[in-house]
Amino acid sequence: MKDVKSSTLKLGFLASGNGSSALAVVEAIRAGTLDAEPRLMVSNMKAAPALAWAEEAGIAAICVPTKTDPEAADRRLADEMAAHGVELIVMSGYLRRLGPAVLSRYAGRIINIHPGPLPEFGGQGMYGRRVHEAVLAAGLPESSIVIHLVDEEYDHGPELARRSVPIAPGDTPEMLEARVKAAEPAFFVETLRRIAAGDLALPDAA
């Protein structure tokens, strides 16, 4: 794995929808508070708002559909990221499992943010409001936002950072979801800042 510590992070983004965390990262870069370069935005959805704002920001943005031919999409995604000089992939609400070509080429260099405690509230189908419903049903005193490395299983890779989110009496899934969503972008930026500064080391790829 190429060393990404203490150097400008060359970032690629994956988003299926708004890509709100990715937008916060780009805004931090533009503001000069994060030493990184946004190289590429990819979505599996042609109408994803993330593609539109990335284009407006002058970032290369492409749609790589995955349903018709997942294997070809996997290879193209890996090739596009490499062609744009991407060294670290940031998943921002990307709702497709990555394939072997991307996982192999970017082993240890793909990070995701999950809106609940892991491993208890992760796995296939555990995204969005479903996570918050499950957390509240479990009666926990607090939830968590977890940033982790991505592997071949949903929400399974090694944890990089975690932030607690309080649960208030009478919270509904909608209320908890709003609180988590509000905290996610800044937490993602903070974690990337720690990686760029060398304060948070990524493990060497196997």
Tokens of 12: 């690629």
At 154-200, the pLDDT tens digits run 788 899 999 999 999 999 999 999 999 999 999 999 999 999 999 99
List of domains in the chain: 9-197 (3.40.50.170)
Catalytic residues: 114
User: Residue 55's pLDDT is what?
Assistant: 97
By three-state DSSP, how is residue 90 classified?
strand
What sign does the dihedral 98-101-103-106 (CA atoms) show?
negative
Residue 205: what pLDDT? 46
Mean pLDDT for the chain overall: 92
d(CA 161, CA 149): 10
Question: What are the pLDDT digits (tens) for 120-151?
Answer: 999 888 888 999 999 999 999 999 999 999 99
pLDDT for 204 equals: 65
Q: Which pLDDT score, from 0 to 100, does residue 111 have?
A: 96
What's the pLDDT tens digit per position in 62-78?
999 999 999 999 999 99
Contacts of 79 (CB under 8 A, 6+ apart): none
> Cα separation of 177 and 73, whole Å?
31
User: 10 pLDDT exceeds 50?
Assistant: yes
- CA–CA–CA angle 77, 83, 84 (5° rounding): 95
